């Protein structure tokens, strides 16, 4: 499938100056967030879409919430695993993956856990998953070190299956019943107890939990080390692109200032003009307002060319 030619969404003057800078840049960072996957149909955390049923999504992303109500937290994450598996990478994921192939000293720091960048064939060495993955699971018992990567079983246990509307008149023996949208408060959720939830196969004691980084938890040590090495591995950084993130969560947001301190110019791509990093915008920065899925292929075009086939690794 080739990307269709789209009308320009970016002011010409900004586009030219950005492309000129990108062309001569060698050491490049991208910090990406939930807005990158918004046009793939996945909700963001803050603002509209940040509520899951009546719960603030960021309040469910904590060890305390899991300790209090592991059934509810698993329902939230099981739903997100299901939605992420149904979603497809969009042109912004493919554009960044292609830029990584063209610029070898470019790394993407992803706060996303949805697996869409890997599915867009982003070169793995150039993609640093700061907040883990929905498709990793690990034991929640402090004394057990069980971790499993790339677990795509959906649902992970039968009790977490998305309920369907059995009374739907369009359902036939050949056509599956329509799935209910369990993010809607009007859809009843089953009460889950400990025995319904995924259990650690190693220690047989602890509950499994999603392999994501919750508030108050440390980011993966190897990922942090790799980034640190990259940051100090050259005299200067030419550019950091801050794409589809409110840049409010640390340590991720701190990389914007760290890159700036090494000379980087900052390019922000966001739907919301007010979502600039805490240090604000400097002279020489760019703000590209709009949907990352439209803007990224356009601003990177000078280096990556037109996006051609967009293979989804999940379909191969
Ligand atoms: C579009 C768009 C479209 C929409 N196109 N744009 C320093 C100062 C203050 C506090 C701290 C600090 N250092 C650490 C902290 C504490 C805390 C923190 O940052 N708190 C802040 C909220 C104040 N940080 C932590 O706890 C971190 N851990 C840590 O620091 O550990 C230290 C430690 C040391 C030693 C021992 C123990 C600990 C961990 C942070 C983990 C964050 N986890 C989450 C959940 C991950 C799992 C999951 O997905 O459920 O990560 S929270 C959530 O926020 C998720 C996201 O990755 C992250 C960032 O959100 P993101 O991606 O920016 O989404 P949104 O919704 O905020 O923004 C979307 C943007 O897109 C918006 O701007 C839209 O406008 C835009 N948009 N559509 C372009 N189509």
Quote the number of domains for the chain: 2
Please report which helix (H) or strand (E) contains residue 135, including its range.
strand 132-139
Q: Quick one: 19 and 112 in the same domain?
A: yes
Q: Quick one: 241 and 102 in the same domain?
A: yes
Residue 93 Cβ < 6 Å to ligand 1: no
Q: CA 145 to CA 138: how far, in whole Å?
A: 7
Q: Quick one: 62 and 183 in the same domain?
A: yes
Q: What pLDDT does residue 201 have?
A: 97
Residue 248 has pLDDT above 50, yes or no: yes
What is the domain-level CATH number for residue 65? 3.30.1600.10
Residue 240 in contact with residue 264, Cβ under 8 Å? Answer: yes
Average pLDDT over residues 141-147: 97
Residue 9 in contact with residue 295, Cβ under 8 Å? Answer: yes
User: Ligand 1 centre from 256 Cα, in Å?
Assistant: 14
Domain boundary among 178, 212, 246: 212
Average pLDDT over residues 151-172: 83
Domain span holding position 16: 1-41+90-131+219-316
Q: Quick one: 16 and 116 in the same domain?
A: yes
Mean of the per-residue pLDDT values of the chain: 93
Residue 94 has pLDDT above 70, yes or no: yes
- Give the list of residues 6+ apart from residue 3 with CB closer than 8 angstroms, or none: 91, 297, 306, 307, 308, 310
Q: CA 212 to CA 220: how far, in whole Å?
A: 10
Q: Quick one: 114 and 144 in the same domain?
A: no
Average pLDDT over residues 218-237: 97
Average pLDDT over residues 79-96: 97
Residue 221 Cβ < 6 Å to ligand 1: no
How many residues comprise the chain?
Answer: 316
Q: What is the pLDDT of residues 167-209, one digit of tens each?
A: 666 656 656 678 888 888 888 888 898 999 999 999 999 999 9
Residue 221 has pLDDT above 50, yes or no: yes
Domain boundary among 144, 179, 212: 212
What is the domain-level CATH number for residue 118? 3.40.50.1220
Q: What pLDDT does residue 176 have?
A: 66
Band of the pLDDT at 156, cuts 50, 70, 90? very high
Quote the crossing angle between the two packed helices 292-299 and 91-102, to the nearest 10°.
30
Band of the pLDDT at 4, cuts 50, 70, 90? very low
Annotated binding site for Zn(2+): 139, 144, 200, 203
Q: Report the first-to-last Cα separation within the chain, whole angstroms.
A: 14
Band of the pLDDT at 251, cuts 50, 70, 90? very high
Q: CA 287 to CA 269: how far, in whole Å?
A: 6
Report the nearest-CA residue for atom 14 of ligand 1.
250
Domain boundary among 157, 189, 212: 212
To the nearest whole percent, how much of the chain has pLDDT over 90? 79
List b or e across 173-188, with b for residues whose CB sees 16 or more CB atoms inside 10 angstroms: eeeeeeebebbeeeee
Q: Which residues are the active-site residues?
A: 131
**Number of helices (H), then strands (E), in the chain:** 10, 13
Residue 164 has pLDDT above 50, yes or no: yes
Q: What pLDDT does residue 67 have?
A: 97
Residue 3 has pLDDT above 50, yes or no: no
Q: Quick one: 266 and 118 in the same domain?
A: yes
């Amino acid at each position: 499938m080739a990307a269709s030619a789209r009308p320009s969404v970016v002011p010409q003057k900004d586009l030219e100056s950005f492309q000129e800078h990108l062309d001569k840049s060698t050491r490049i960072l991208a910090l990406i967030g939930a807005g990158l996957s918004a046009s793939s149909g996945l909700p963001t955390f803050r603002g509209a879409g940040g509520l899951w049923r009546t719960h603030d999504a960021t309040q469910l992303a904590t060890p305390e919430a899991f300790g209090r109500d592991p059934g509810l937290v698993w329902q939230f994450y099981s739903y997100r695993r299901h939605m992420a598996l149904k979603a497809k990478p969009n042109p912004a994921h493919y554009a960044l993956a292609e830029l990584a192939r063209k610029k070898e000293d470019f790394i993407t720091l992803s706060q996303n856990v949805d697996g869409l960048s890997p599915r867009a064939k982003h070169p793995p060495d150039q993609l640093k998953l700061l907040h883990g993955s929905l498709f990793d699971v690990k034991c929640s018992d402090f004394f057990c070190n069980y971790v499993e990567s790339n677990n795509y079983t959906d649902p992970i246990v039968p009790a977490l299956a998305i309920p369907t509307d059995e009374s739907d008149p369009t359902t036939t023996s050949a056509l599956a019943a329509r799935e209910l949208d369990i993010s809607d408060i009007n859809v009843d959720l089953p009460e889950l107890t400990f025995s319904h939830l995924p259990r650690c196969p190693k220690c047989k004691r602890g509950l499994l939990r999603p392999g994501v980084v919750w508030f108050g938890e440390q980011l993966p040590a190897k990922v942090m080390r790799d980034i640190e090495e990259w940051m100090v591995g050259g005299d200067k950084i030419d550019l950091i692109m801050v794409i589809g993130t409110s840049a409010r969560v640390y340590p991720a947001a701190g990389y914007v200032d760290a890159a700036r301190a090494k000379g980087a110019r900052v390019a922000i791509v966001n739907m919301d003009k007010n979502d600039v990093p805490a240090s604000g915008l400097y002279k020489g920065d760019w703000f590209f307002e709009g949907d990352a899925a439209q803007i990224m292929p356009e601003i990177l075009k000078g280096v990556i060319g037109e996006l051609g086939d967009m293979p989804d690794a999940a379909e191969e």
